[in-house]
A and B are shown apart, each in its own frame.
Chain A
C-alpha cells in the first residue's frame, strides 16, 4: 500500500497524525519532515509545546444544506477555537424572482405568489398584499371579510410561532417539543383547510374581500382546536420555559439591546423582545385590530430566551384575539359588491350578460387599479411585512416591492453572534425565525 502514493486513495494503516498523508512515512515530532508542500514549519521546541495552542482561523460552512439552517441559507463562519470571529451570510438559494414574477401577473394572480413568501403564514401575506392594493383602490371591505382576514392571520400567527418554538426545541435537543408543536399546528392547518381549501398555500384573500366564508360549524371546531392547542402550548412551556439546558443555551446568547435593535431595523417579536413595545396592530391598527382587546408582551434582555418567551406569550394573545373575533363576527358580505374588483357571484355570471361581461373583463384584463403608489405595512409573524405597489392604471402591477419581515434580523445575525460560541449560533438563528421564502423572495 505504501507504493500507491498520495492522493490515489486507500487507507494507510501505518499513517499517524504526524505523517504527511497516506503512503508517506511518519516522522517523529522534533525532526523536520521532507518538504512536501514547499514551506515546512519549524520543528517544535519543548517550550512551544507548553505554550497555548496556536489558533488558526478555521472556516466552517454551515449550510446550505444543514439541518439547522432552515430553508437553504449558507453561513460561512470563521472560528477561532470555538469562538465565532467572523461570519458571512450567503443567501439567495431560494430566490425565485417574486417581485418580477408579480409584475407579469394580474393583481389577482399575485396571491399565489404571496402565499409562497412565508409559507407557514400564508394568509398574513395575502392580507398584506390585498391591503396594499385596496389602499390604492380606496376600497373599504365589508366587516365580515375584515374579521375573516384577522381570524386567518391570527391562526397563522399561532402556526408560525409554534413552528419556531418547536424547531428551536428540536435543534437544542428537545425532540418531544417538536412533536407536540407539530401536533398543535396540524390541528390548526386542518381547520384552515376547511376554511380556505388548502392547508399550506391558502390563496384566501382577494382584492375587495376574501374568497369564501367560514363553513357551518367551523367556529365551534376552531374553538375546540384552540383549546387543544392551548393544552399543548402549556405542555411545551412546561418542558422548555424552566428547563435548565434550554435556559443555559438561550439565556444571554444572541443579545441585542433596545437601541441596537432599532438601529438594525428589527420589527416584530424580535424588537419586542429587546424591550421596544412596538406592534403595528397597536401603532397603526388595520382591519379590525382597534376593536379587539389584546396586549403586547415585551422582553427585557433581548436574548434568545426573551424571543422565545415573546412568541409563547403571543400565541396566548392570538388565542384571545381569535375568541373575541368569533364573538364579534356577524354574518354578512365577504366581498365588496363591485364588478370592478370582485368577480360577480356565479348566478350573475351564468345568467346575465352584464355579469358575464364583467367576469370576462376582470379575468382577461385584470383589476384596473388606479395609477399611483401605496405602501401597506402589517404585523406579520416575524415583523413588519411591507408591500410597496406601484400601478400605472393597468391590470398588472407596474412595480412591486416587498419588505420581508425576516430580512433585517437575518442581516443582523453576524453582529449578533460575533464573539459568541459556535453552539450559540443555532439558538440565535432559530429565534429570529428566518423563513427562506420571504427573505430570498
Chain B
C-alpha cells in the first residue's frame, strides 16, 4: 500500500531555533567520538563479529590487518596441478571461449601415444584484461582452472608483470579424481609409481548419468544402457 512519508512535516519553531537540533545532532556524534576515543579498537577482522559494547570502530589497519576473503571468493586464477606437478589442463580452449574479456591465451601441445593427448605448452592470463567473472572456472570440464587462491592480483609496477604465464599460474594443492582418464587408462608421460600413488589419492566422483538431467523428450540414459546390455548378451 502506498503511504505518505512520515517525516515530511514543516519545520517547527524548535528546529527553526537551530540550537536544540544542533545539540541533538552533536549527541549522536559525541557518543561515537567518546566511545571510539577512550576505548581501544577491536582487531577482529570480521567486523560483524566485533562486540560493540565499548568501541564502535569498524576500521582495519589495512596492510597489517587483512580480512580473509570468504570461501568462494573469485580471486586470482590458478592452474590446478596433478600430483606429478603437471597441469590438469588438457588445452580444450573452453575457458578461453567462455571468457568475455578474451584474456586467456592457450597454445596446445600434443602427447604422442598417450591418452592425455593434449596439454598446454603456453597458458597465459592477462590479469589486467580479466573482469573476474569466474566463467572460466565454470567452463572448465577438467577442474583445471580455479579462482580459489584467496588473493587478488597483486599490484605491480609494470603492465607486463600482470600477464601471468603457466609457471606462475600453476600452484596450489594438486587434485585427482577417480574418473581422470590418465588414472583410468594410464599415461606414458606419468611414471608408473607416481600413477599408482595418484590412483590411491584420487577423489571419488559420481560418474553415473541420471535420467533427471536428460532433456530430450523420450531419451533415457537408463533405457539406452539396458538396450546396450541386452544387445551384448544377445551376441554372446
A301 contact set on B, CB distance < 8 A: 8
Contact partner of A109 among B70, B72, B100, CB < 8 A?
A: B100
A362 CB → nearest B CB, Å: 9
The residue of chain A having its C-beta at the shortest distance from the C-beta of B209 within the complex is A352
Alpha-carbon gap, A247 to B15, bound state (A): 10
> Judging by beta carbons under 8 Å apart, are A215 and B71 in contact?
yes
- Minimum distance in angstroms from B31 CB to a CB of chain A: 9
- Interface SS, A side: helix
Q: A298 and B70 in contact (CB under 8 A), knowing A112-B133, A201-B132?
A: no
Q: Within the complex, what minimum Cβ distance (angstroms) separates A137 from chain B? A: 13
Query: How far is the CB of A366 from the nearest CB of chain B, in Å?
Result: 10
| Residues 139 to 184 of chain A near chain B (Cβ within 8 Å) | 176, 183
Chain B, interface SS category: loop
Of the four ranges (under 10, 10 to 19, 20 to 34, 35 or more), the interface on chain B belongs to 35 or more
Rounded to whole angstroms, the CA-CA distance of A299 and B74 in the bound complex is: 41
Contact stretch, chosen from A34-42, A85-93, A221-229 = A221-229
| Inter-chain contact B215/A225, CB cutoff 8 Å | no
Q: Is A355 a contact partner of B209 (Cβ separation < 8 A)?
A: yes
Check A416 for interface membership: any CB of B closer than 8 A: no
Interchain Cβ contacts under 8 Å between A and B, 28 examples: A112-B101, A112-B133, A113-B100, A186-B58, A187-B48, A194-B72, A197-B73, A198-B73, A201-B133, A225-B48, A244-B18, A247-B11, A295-B3, A296-B3, A297-B2, A297-B5, A299-B5, A346-B143, A348-B213, A349-B141, A350-B143, A350-B177, A351-B205, A351-B206, A352-B208, A352-B209, A354-B214, A363-B139
Question: Bound complex: CA of A193 vs CA of B135, how far in Å?
Answer: 16
Query: In whole Å, how far is B49's beta carbon from the nearest beta carbon of chain A?
Result: 9
Task: Report which of B69, B97, B131 forms a contact with A363, defined as CB distance below 8 A.
Answer: B97
Chain A interface residues toward B at CB < 8 A? 105, 108-109, 111-113, 115, 176, 183, 186-187, 190, 193-194, 197-198, 201, 203, 211-212, 215, 221, 224-225, 228, 235, 238-239, 241-244, 247, 251, 277, 295-301, 305-306, 309-310, 313, 337-340, 343-352, 354-356, 358-360, 363-364
B21 in contact with A193 (CB, 8 Å): no
Cα A339 to Cα B211 in complex, Å, equals 12
B1 within 8 A of A: yes
A243 close to B21 (CB less than 8 A)? yes
Taken together as a complex, chains A and B put the C-alpha atoms of A252 and B117 apart, in Å, by 73
Residue picked from A277, A297, A310, A350, most chain B C-beta under 10 Å: A350
Most buried by B among A224, A295, A349: A349
Q: Does B234 belong to the interface (CB within 8 Å)? A: no
Q: Within 8 Å CB of B48, what residues of A?
A: 187, 190, 221, 224-225, 228
